[in-house]
Amino acid sequence: MAVVGEAASATVAAAQGSSERGVLREAIHRARMPSLAGIAYEAMGLAWIFGALAALTILSLVVEDKEVMSSALARRFAVPKGTSAIVFFALAAPLILTATRVGAGLARMAAPGAPKGRKPTARNAWRSGISVQVSAFGIWLQIFGMMASATFVLIGPLVGLSLLIGPEALGPFSGILSGLALTLTFVYGAELGALQELATASLVRHRRGVGSAVLHAWRLMKSKPSESRRKAAADFAARFAVVAGSLAVAGSLGSGWGLALFVAIAALVGSVRCQAWSLQYPRLGGLEPQVLSDED
């Protein structure tokens, strides 16, 4: 019986792996590469990263002692500088608004029921996103706020503890506690990333409100937790590699080179990611519309 059980488990795992590879192949086949609209879609998916950065920026403004912040983060990440981060968020705001409209438009064009023959260019995605741009930005804000709140909850107590007793007093426990907090932060970020993708897919298909789209996405993830976690983990790993690589290049060669690398990679993977989540949406239980109206 044990042998039969192990064989069955291996068969299921192989089938799941084959299915995932099939989705990836189909997504690559359907994607347009390179793609300006894909850059926007990739940028739209950074809501949880922006939320974490915003929370860390606020903490760094409140706590002026950089040693305390570095201790809380176990020196794994550079603490955002308050003034420069505020300027960055101010400059990024209009780009985020543009990215959410174009990204949602591209997701709409990737969904079944969209007009055939329309190329997924940035211009067409901009036109397709006009009717859902407000709700798409609302989803972005909700994911942003949820991640910022979680970062405060997970990292804030470590900062407060370091302020109360001093970084040196924590000793080796500093690395253990911060490592645990960062791990939980990343896991939550991965879940939020998948939640945003599914909520956007639901929004562009059924014209839901922000709350309804996010709640529907959460229900889809709860209905198939193992499958949704695998997809969230894979999506997180790919996105983290893009962002981490861009930040590494920015740190060694300058911010301009880091941004150029992100744009280059996003132009290749953004459209693939969009198509992949469009294919995954019905696999997790989402219903497809017959026709998408108001495409223009």
Which candidate, 153, 270, 271, 143, places its Cα nearest to that of 200? 143
Residue 82 scores a pLDDT above 70: no
What's this model's pTM, rounded to 2 decimal places? 0.83
Question: Can you tell me the distance from the alpha carbon of 270 to that of 266, in angstroms, rounded to the nearest whole number?
Answer: 5
Say if CB 28 and CB 272 are below 8 A apart: yes
Rounded percentage of the chain residues whose pLDDT exceeds 70: 78
pLDDT number for residue 60:
76
d(CA 296, CA 294): 5
Average pLDDT over residues 87-115: 86
Helix (H) or strand (E) run with residue 85 in it? helix 82-110
For 36-55, what is the mean pLDDT? Answer: 92
147 pLDDT band, cuts 50/70/90, is: very high
Q: Which of 86, 92, 107 is nearest to 202 (CA)?
A: 107
Say if residue 277 is exposed, middle or buried (CB neighbours under 10 Å; 0-12, 13-18, 19+). buried
pLDDT at 2 over 50: no
pLDDT band at 104 (very low <50, low <70, confident <90, very high): very high
Per-residue pLDDT band for 217 (boundaries 50, 70, 90) equals: very high
Question: Would you give the distance in Å from CA 244 to the centre of its chain?
Answer: 13
Q: How far apart are the first and last CA of the chain?
A: 59
Name the pLDDT band for 201 (thresholds 50, 70, 90): very high
| Average pLDDT estimate for 86-103 | 86
122 exposure class (CB count in 10 Å sphere: 0-12, 13-18, 19+) = middle
pLDDT of 244 higher than 60:
yes
Query: Does residue 261 carry a pLDDT above 70?
Result: yes
Radius of gyration of the chain (CA): 20
